[in-house]
Each structure stands twice: as C-alpha cells, then as structure tokens.
C-alpha cells in the first residue's frame, strides 16, 4: 500500500483544478482516497458538459462509486481545492464520506462551515469530519487569477 501524505493528495486535486482552468471552467479539483489509494477524481465541468451538477466533487464521487461498485463511499477522504457548495456537501453526507479536506473557503456559498455547515449538521444521519487550509494560498490564487482573466475578456 502506498503511504502518500495529505499534501500529495491535495497537490493532485490542485492539478485537476489547473485542468479545469485550461478548459475554461472555474478551477476546482477533487480527488477521493480510500486506504491511501486514489479511487475517484474530478474537476469542474458544468460549462463544457452543460450539466449544473458537474462539480469536481460530484464527478469524483461518481468515478469512485463506479470503481468500487458501491454508492456508499465509507472510510474515504475527499481532497478538494475549494470548500464544497451545498449540493456537494450534501453529496458527501449521502455518500458517507469520512472526511473532507479543502484548501480555501468559499465565502459566498461554502457549506462545510463558512456560510452553511451541512457536513456537521446534527439533524442529518451522517457527519463528515472537516479540515481546511492546506494549500489555501495556491488554490485561492488560482481561482482569483481565473476570474481576473475572465473579467479582462468580458470588457
């Protein structure tokens, strides 16, 4: 079994975010790990796929579910470059993810503690451990540079 660090996995998520940016998507990347093995990965694709649910986290969950042939993704860790939105945080709860580690907070729609706290809502039947801040500066700068470029071209 591999013995990769959290930093390794977050760097992999960051690389997926860069791929999203190359495709003209908001640069968010996610990887899902079980027993220190990659089982799912994704990057934002709602624009190119014409699918409002094609967020990095949802794509990673779909890939992982197919890989392990189960919709319950217990004992897994999601690494994502931006705090999950309410849709994605709900998906993490439904999939029974053990932990989400995100890089930077989403101060407009974050649902893992910033604006909402879906992952730790006592009314729900599952809670997801949350950790944040790893590679926050790099991931925040990537998103900011994406929107700066977008504004330049929309003038």
Sign of CA dihedral 125, 30, 147, 129: positive
Cβ proximity of 119 and 102 under 8 Å: no
Residue 40 CB-density burial (10 A; 0-12 exposed, 13-18 middle, 19+ buried): buried
Q: Which pair of structure tokens corresponds to residue 49?
A: 């796929």
Distance CA 49, CA 84 (A): 19
Q: What are the residues whose beta carbons fall under 8 Å from the beta carbon of 72, sequence distance 6 or more? A: 95, 96
CA-based nearest residue to 73, from 50, 101, 97: 97
Catalytic-labelled residue, pool 22, 57, 138, 141: 57
Active site residue 129: no
Active-site residue numbers? 57
């Amino acid at each position: 079994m591999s013995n990769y660090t959290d930093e390794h996995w977050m760097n992999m998520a960051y690389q997926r975010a860069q791929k999203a940016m190359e495709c003209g998507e908001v640069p968010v990347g996610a990887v899902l790990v079980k027993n220190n093995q990659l089982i799912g990965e994704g990057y934002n694709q709602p624009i190119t796929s014409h699918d409002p649910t094609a967020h990095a986290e949802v794509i990673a969950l779909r890939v992982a579910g197919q890989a392990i042939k189960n919709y319950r993704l217990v004992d897994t860790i999601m690494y994502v470059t931006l705090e999950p939105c309410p849709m994605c945080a709900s998906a993490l709860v439904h999939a029974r993810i053990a932990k989400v580690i995100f890089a930077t907070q989403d101060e407009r729609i974050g649902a893992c503690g910033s604006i909402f706290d879906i992952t730790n809502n006592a009314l729900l039947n599952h809670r997801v451990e949350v950790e944040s801040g790893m590679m926050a500066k790099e991931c925040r700068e990537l998103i900011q540079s994406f929107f700066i470029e977008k504004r330049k071209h929309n003038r």
